[in-house]
């Protein structure tokens, strides 16, 4: 084993919690390049006392989900968008897997929802693909 491979192997062992962890260099590289989320979350829909829709992960109306890490706001927004897509598949695109990372597919779904809210209800939302303080109330209130 070359010195370079031993160094990479030692670094992989430290990153993975020390101890005697024997991973080939290629496996150590693949582990560090793993996606931020590999879990598909469940959506548990309910109407709140305020008449708004909730999916059981985030109850606010202001946090903008992250496009690089799993957040409860990301899971919640994806759940609500998934519900809208199921009801209006020709109008609201699918957010993809509910994984909590608000990436490209989720943003495209949110843009289609924002266009719907603007067109049919005059919401006046910016079509930026992000559920923020202006879009959350519409996403919660228009979900069926």
The answer to whether position 38 is within a domain reads no
- Structural domains of the chain, count: 2
pLDDT-derived band of residue 38, with 50, 70 and 90 as boundaries?
Answer: low
Q: Mean per-residue pLDDT for 74-79? A: 97
What is the per-residue pLDDT across 40-50, written as a single tens digit (0 to 9) for each? 999 999 999 99
The answer to whether position 39 is within a domain reads no
C-beta neighbour count of 10 within 10 angstroms: 12
Percent of the chain exceeding pLDDT 90 equals 70
Report the distance separating Cα 27 and Cα 46, nearest Å.
Answer: 43
Whether the full predicted model's pTM is greater than 0.85, yes or no, is: no
Residues 12 and 81 grouped into a single domain:
no
pLDDT at 30: 34
pLDDT-derived band of residue 118, with 50, 70 and 90 as boundaries?
Answer: very high
The answer to whether position 10 is within a domain reads yes
Residue 126 domain boundaries: 46-142
pLDDT reading at 92 higher than 80: yes
The answer to whether position 105 is within a domain reads yes
- Where b means 16+ CB within 10 Å and e means fewer, 43-77 reads beeeeeeeebbbbebbeebebbbebeebbbbbbbb
């Amino acid at each position: 084993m070359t010195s370079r491979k031993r160094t990479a192997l030692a670094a992989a062992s430290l990153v993975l919690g020390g101890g005697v962890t024997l991973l080939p260099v290629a496996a150590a590289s693949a582990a560090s390049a793993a996606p931020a989320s590999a879990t598909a979350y469940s959506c548990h829909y309910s109407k709140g006392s305020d008449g708004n829709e909730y999916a059981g992960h985030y109850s606010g109306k202001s946090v903008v989900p992250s496009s690089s890490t799993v957040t409860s706001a990301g899971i919640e927004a994806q759940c609500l968008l998934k519900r809208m897509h199921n009801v209006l598949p020709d109008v609201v695109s699918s957010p993809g897997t509910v994984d909590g990372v608000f990436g490209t597919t989720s943003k495209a779904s949110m843009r289609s929802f924002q266009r719907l809210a603007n067109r049919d209800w005059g919401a006046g939302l910016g079509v930026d693909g992000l559920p923020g303080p202006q879009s959350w109330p519409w996403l919660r209130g228009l979900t069926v």
